[in-house]
Structure 1
Amino acid sequence: MTFPGLRSTVLPALLALGMALSAAAGARAANAADPDWPCVQRLVPNLTAAGVWSGPVPPPGDAWRQVPDVAALVTRITPSAVREEAGLRMIGDFAAPLDAEARRRLLPLVLSGTLAETNQVRGQIIERIGAFARRQRGLADTVQHLTEQLDASGPEAEKPDTAGDAKARQAELQQRVFFATKTFQDAERTLRYMCEVPVRLEARFGAYARALEAALPAPP
């Protein structure tokens, strides 16, 4: 069966594919720290509290895990699905009943735990983005290879002695090019969404840090 409308389906899809590949190449060039990074957003592998926290230096390591109330709060506010507004409300509810001494002791622990868990969540997402991008590059190579085969099949279909088989082969290639390109385009939309997540988590951590610092008591 011939796949209808080759010019109106496959060719625009290939044009979109080329644009997507050009954008990905630009993103890789803009991220010299990791040339394979596919996102236009800047790659920040690990967050730090610098620039968003000027309170007491948080205790190192996993000291925050040793305080059940702190660990419970961190567990509630750091999953990627938690919206910033919800996390800020939970931080406010946690800090509200604490006296000044408890705030000075516990809020830096909350910051430490929030930073550690946010980095862990972001790291997993960054790894998935890298794997997804590698899959996309493989799919793009497949589309290019199929397109070259399709281009080469044109003259063959005009030969009388092989026209039937060649046309059937051309129809099959048209379908494969179309669906492979569509798969690539659909995955590109997913990748664009995935690329936004690390940036959103970075912004959310900054908001958490500022809220925690604002809840600290004034220095004596």
Structure 2
Amino acid sequence: MTRLAFARGLVVVAMLAPGANAKAATVDPDWPCVQRKVPQLSLGQVWNGADLPPSAKDWSNDASVSALVEDVAARRLPIADAEKKIRDFAASLPAEQLAPKMAMLVQGMFDHMDAERSHVISGISRYAHRQLEMAADLRKQASDVDALRAKPDADQDDVERRTDQLTFATRIFTERAQSLTYVCDVPTIIEQRLYQLAKTVSDTLAAKK
């Protein structure tokens, strides 16, 4: 296989990568993920307990709740450890503070993690747009190399140099497409973590009754 044929083959593979074509599975034509695009969640999707009081929205003004939200939302913290932190926090509260503090915790986790999830989704969209731009550039480079190669008097050193450039650029594109496939899982991971943590709060409150 010649260098040019190899480079053109990489272009074809890159264009057919799952991350490049998954956008057909969603309403947004520019969305590259198999997972459906849901820019924001609703509280009801992750919380099945009693309606939260208006005071829960003031969670960021409570230092202990705010710190706990930051801790348990961090994906580097194993979910079991995060759940334990929630249970330990509940155990430390006087009875009269349990319900209001836990309501604030639920609201805080939702606000924090939904915002993080939305930020990731925006980043995925920007990344996908860049992939589309790179794909168009790769097609143009491949066409230019084809045209150069077809010339009887083509400088073979120039053909080889430009083919090497195309091969390298296509590999970068393919690696980015593969990375995008993994990144597409992050919004779902955040949503599942939020649901599990909210359930931990619900179960903890139920156990205290």
Q: After TM superposition, which residue ranges in structure 1, 4 or more long, deviate above 6 angstroms?
A: none
Contact 2:19 2:181 in 1 (8 A): no
Unmatched 5+ residue regions in structure 1?
A: none
| Cα deviation 1:2-40 (Å, max 9, x = unaligned) | xx84267324312311212x7533x222211x2211111
Distance in 2 (alpha carbons) for counterparts of 1:84 and 1:12? 43
Counterpart among 9, 13, 30 of residue 10 in structure 2: 13
Q: Supply the distance in 1 between the matched residues of 2:127 and 2:13 (Cα, whole angstroms).
A: 19
Deviations 1:38-93 (A, max 9, x none): 11111121122214323222234731112221111012112343332332121122
1:100–1:217: 8 Å Cα contact kept in structure 2? no
> In structure 1, how many angstroms separate the alpha carbons of the residues matched to 2:106 and 2:97?
14
Pair 1:172-2:161 in alignment: yes
Partner of 2:37: 43
Amino acid at match of 1:24: A
Question: Where does structure 2 lack aligned partners over 5 or more consecutive residues?
Answer: none
What is the aligned-residue identity percentage?
A: 29
Aligned counterpart, 2:79: 84
Q: How many residues align?
A: 208
CA deviation after TM superposition for structure 1 residue 112, in Å? 0.1
Contact 1:31 1:37 in 2 (8 A): yes
Instruction: Kindly indicate which of the two structures has a greater share of residues assigned to helix.
Output: 2
The 5 Å alignment of 1:124-135 reads 124-135=119-130
Matched residues in 2 for 1:169 and 1:104: separation?
Answer: 73
Structure 2 counterpart of 1:189, one-letter code: Q
Distance 2:7 2:177 in 1: 17
Aligned residue identity for 1:44:
V
* Contact 1:37–1:130, Cα closer than 8 Å, also in 2: yes
Normalised by the length of structure 2, the TM-score is 0.88
